[in-house]
């Protein structure tokens, strides 16, 4: 624990959705949901306006549509987001040589190593300057936490959301953390939180009072000891530049063992979608798909499959996880499932991506309208018919992607169907634009690079 709050944590506010709102004037101030639009899609990011309806990341897209039927639903533009992330990371690099990216929109910075802060006043000044620079460079907002440790800096940035700065003075950690839920401590998820609640441990103060021995008994040596130290505010982890992630994974523990094979498969598919969302958020792809199954008797099995090259496509990961599940005997019940991707890289092999796109097209995963209710979701149990030429053309126009018309100029796809594509013509710096509809094969309409969010900016990477 440092004597000055010189560890900074930056978390961009609703990053994907905010980037879409900034590039599309007609969506500003309105609910926006970014994610997979197919029948098995999940939410990657929801704008703050959409969160008021209960929409959140990792939620099934069908549930999001029921909660916020009037929201705009857009497919992600990860190349666009990576371009903006690069601008933000460059600004962080000007503060310090020690920048630890956690994902496209989140990072730790050691201000002391950069020589820009050695006390509370200078740390706050650096944080406020960073927020101004991010807004001027990208047009987006970020929340900043400052503290003497990584754990507390992350907690502070969460408290600062949206578009704020919170500084935790060293020495006030116990007072700050004491009344908070145990879930505020990194690594305490729903399952562990519920396990502690059943033992009468609800707040951080309860964790401290329970003592290390009791926590070790409840959670095991490593987890119990770590939780006790963090509850005391002790966290000496350094900021590590060029953080080398080796894998990305998600898992769920179920209160009641799962026995139904179909339910187990559906849970694996949902975990695969969540895993890909996290994988893409970190800017990676991966070659090896891993399935983890903890059975009713606490025995844990893992199965893996290595692809010909790295992928970040949800269909590829979902199908691989499904194949791995077929290799596991779930008779007797399952209490935990997990899906992971390892062998990480920072690109996606083109031939695998093309194969996955073809499979996604067969499932109807793109080209849906962004209107108030959207189309009815197809019966996923039914075998899809081969796509017609018109359907294939429609899938070229993904909701939210950029286009250019020879007469009307730059715009973005609101949706497509029945051989038509609807486009709203507007630019990041213009007023909300008009909507026009064209045949999907209109020769004057073509996909386009996104325009920069800020005049003179460089976010016009291919989407």
Which residues are known to be catalytic?
106
CB 302 within 8 Å of CB 315: no
Q: Which residue has the tokens 């800020």?
A: 454
* 262 class by beta-carbon count within 10 Å (0-12 exposed, 13-18 middle, 19+ buried): exposed
3-state helix, strand and coil shares in percent for the chain, rounded to the nearest 5: 35, 25, 40
The DSSP string of 11-38 is: EETTHHHHHHHHH-GGGTTS-EEEE--S
Tokens of 383: 């075998």
Neighbours of 189 (CB within 10 A): 12
- What are the distances in angstroms from CA 249 to CA 219, 342, 405? 20, 8, 41
The DSSP string of 90-141 is: HHHHHH-S-EEEEETTEEEEETTTTTS-SSHHHHHHHHHHHHHHHHHHHS--
Asked whether the bond before 237 is cis by omega within 30 degrees of 0, the reply is no
Q: Which residue has the tokens 């008994």?
A: 217
């Amino acid at each position: 624990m440092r004597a000055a709050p010189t560890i900074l944590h930056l978390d961009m506010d609703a990053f994907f959705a905010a980037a879409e709102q900034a590039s599309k004037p007609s969506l500003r101030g309105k609910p926006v949901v970014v994610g997979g639009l197919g029948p098995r899609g999940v939410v990657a990011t929801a704008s703050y306006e959409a969160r008021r309806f209960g929409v959140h990341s990792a939620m099934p897209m069908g549930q999001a549509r029921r909660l916020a039927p009037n929201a705009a639903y857009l497919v992600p533009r990860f190349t666009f987001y990576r371009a903006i992330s690069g601008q933000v990371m460059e600004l962080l690099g000007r503060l310090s040589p020690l920048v630890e990216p956690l994902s496209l929109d989140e990072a730790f910075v050691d201000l002391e190593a950069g020589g820009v802060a050695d006390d509370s006043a200078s740390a706050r000044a650096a944080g406020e300057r960073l927020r101004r620079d991010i807004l001027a460079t990208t047009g987006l907002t970020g929340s900043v936490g400052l503290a003497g440790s990584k754990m507390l800096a992350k907690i502070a940035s969460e408290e600062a959301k949206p578009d704020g700065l919170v500084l935790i003075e060293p020495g006030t950690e116990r007072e700050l953390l004491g009344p908070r839920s145990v879930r505020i401590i990194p690594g305490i998820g729903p399952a562990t939180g519920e396990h502690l609640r059943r033992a009468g441990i609800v707040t951080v103060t309860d964790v401290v009072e329970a003592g290390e021995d009791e926590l070790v008994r409840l959670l095991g040596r490593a987890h119990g000891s770590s939780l006790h130290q963090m509850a005391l505010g002790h966290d000496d982890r350094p900021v590590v530049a060029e953080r080398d992630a080796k894998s990305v994974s998600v898992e769920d523990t179920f209160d009641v063992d799962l026995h139904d094979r179909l339910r187990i498969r559906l849970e694996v598919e949902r975990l695969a979608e969540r895993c890909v969302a996290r994988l893409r958020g970190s800017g990676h792809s991966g070659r090896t798909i891993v399935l983890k199954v903890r059975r009713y008797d606490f025995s844990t099995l893992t199965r893996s499959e290595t692809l010909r090259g790295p992928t970040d496509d949800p269909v590829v990961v979902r199908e691989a996880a499904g194949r791995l599940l077929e290799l596991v005997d779930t008779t007797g019940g399952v209490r935990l499932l997990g899906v992971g991707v390892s062998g990480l890289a920072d690109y996606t092999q083109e031939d695998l991506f093309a194969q996955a796109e073809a499979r996604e097209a067969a499932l109807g995963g793109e080209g849906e309208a962004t209107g108030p209710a959207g189309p009815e979701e197809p019966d996923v149990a039914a075998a899809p018919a081969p796509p017609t030429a018109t359907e294939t053309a429609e899938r070229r126009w993904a909701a939210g992607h950029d286009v250019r018309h020879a007469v009307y100029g730059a715009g973005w796809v609101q949706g497509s169907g029945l051989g038509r594509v609807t486009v709203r013509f507007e630019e990041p710096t213009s007023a909300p634009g008009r909507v026009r509809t064209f045949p999907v094969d209109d020769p004057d309409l073509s996909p386009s690079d996104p325009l920069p969010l800020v005049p003179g900016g460089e976010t016009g990477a291919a989407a």
